[in-house]
A and B are shown apart, each in its own frame.
Chain A
Amino acid sequence: MCATPLLEVRNLAIDFGRGENATHAVKGISFTIADGETVAVVGESGSGKSVTALSLTRLLPTPPARYVGGEILFNGRNTLTLSGDELRPMRGKQIAYIFQEPGTSLNPVFTIEFQIAEAIRLHRPEVKDVRGEVVRALDLVGIRDPEKRLGDYPHQLSGGMQQRVMIAMALACHPKLLVADEPTTALDVTIQKQIMDLLRELKGRLGMSIMLITHNFGIVADIADRVVVMFRGHIVEEGKTADVLRNPQHPYTRALIDCVPRLGQKQRRLKAIDHAEIEALLKP
């Protein structure tokens, strides 16, 4: 175990809104991500996993979001107390993001070269040959003939290609931590596989840490070292991927794992998750 983890989240609590109508999206969670480690945060929509991911560099719009407690230590610095000017060099350079919808996450009026180059110019001003660097980034994510793609606009690419561009943009500045917020949810199944394979390969090659947000246990097994399961703003289970998959402790984890269809088990019906039952278990 590492002495100081790359990322340490302590008692993080996030509300939306104020007073009586406030929603407690994240209710005091703690977890760590070590150097080079891949951690999957799993949970259904509304469990607070995306909110947690965006909060790492304070990307949530405030208001309505409010950071009500805890700290987020990245390399020992608490991002929740940094000023905007201190935070900005961190975004993209230390912690980079890829999002769920590559189609809307890329700016439609700029070429992909411009959008990747923008990040490089911002964080790596020492780079002379920006174009060459963009080509290298595109090449890295498996885009063929990257030189020919430079002038393309996002709408001219397929969903899978768009997501590769997003990954290239995120990796162009060699971040320490890549936050992938449901990177395959909006894609076809075959493309999902390709993107996950790419992420796994890049992880091995570049040695960065990955925080993978997903609701699908199916894609966790392949890539994640550890799993964090979230339910309604709480972390209900945490552990090594193999352990959690083999022997889930929490009924919600079990229910999520049961949601993944498997070949060769024709008779089993997929189970719907009984929230009331799990909610009852959460109460001390």
Chain B
Amino acid sequence: MTSNLFRQILQRPTGVLCAALLAVLYLIAIFAAVISPYAPSDQNLAKTYHPPTGLVWHDGRLCVRVYKLVDPTEALYRAEPDRLAPVHFWAKSAPYKLWGFIPMEHRLFGVDSAERIYLLGSDSTGRDVFSRLLYGSQVSLSIGLIGIFITTVIGVTVGGLSGYFGGPLDNVTMRLTELLMAVPDLYLIIALRAALSAYFDSGQIFLLIVGILSFIGWSGTARVIRGLTLSLRNRPFIHAAEALGQTPFVILWKHLFPNLLGYLIVTSTLSIPGYILGEAALSFLGIGIQEPSTSWGLMLSQAQDMKVFMLNFWWLLTPGLAIFVTVILFNALGDVLRDIVDPKLKTQV
């Protein structure tokens, strides 16, 4: 089923394009530490709101222009005509750890430590927007996958069991899902965030966010899975399995689950954007990922600053573009998958 699905994706141009671009995005996220020239919290208070540094080809090598701060209140920088800093590839840098445990001393590119390379400019404390964008992708790209994994596991288990057994269990779980759906999502998120934040330190906020989003998300999956289980429940092949004396868990796992797999793959892909947008919204409101960590939503919240607006630092909006591209890729891929798995689902999902 899965390998077949993969082959079918490869037969469709949109599918190939989306899958390939997403793969590139995930590779960038995985190697963000190596690709980005600076650490996400690397400040430079002398170079705040720096514009993107111009790249020039000089003397057979790539160089960046060097800028001079003309007017600090307006954050006006001017390129100095004859000063250039060469770009080094595989440049030596301050030691850091890749994936938290591999000690490294080089980054893909960089300039001499006296100067700075800001591909997308710098923010209010002189941190490199480009580096933060790359590091931020780790949050945005992983939150969807982890979140959807948790929701699917909970949703399938709860929905499958209550659909299969019915009775009081079904009653309780369905009332619970209705309860969760009766509160507007963001209101509930805020309440949960208020309640639980004291039990997580700022480094664990990521876990908290994933937890909250999954806690909200499982009810929808559970209800749909329950409905599908109910309709499959009375098919002859389930009765046959029961007659053979198989346990409910084996029946759920071996007979029901494979039948729901196609549906799950499609809805999961289409729900991932929800998690990405959810995290971005929370971080944007300032109740998600906290400084000095970075995420796309958090970076956008800095753009809210009127000063940023008025000075037209549009590059601070690049995280918005990044969110947009990622979400559109997942949506398009989900549509391709839906066409493959069940063209009729179109009206239902």
> Does a CB–CB distance below 8 Å link A and B in the complex?
no
Residues of A within 8 A of B (CB): none
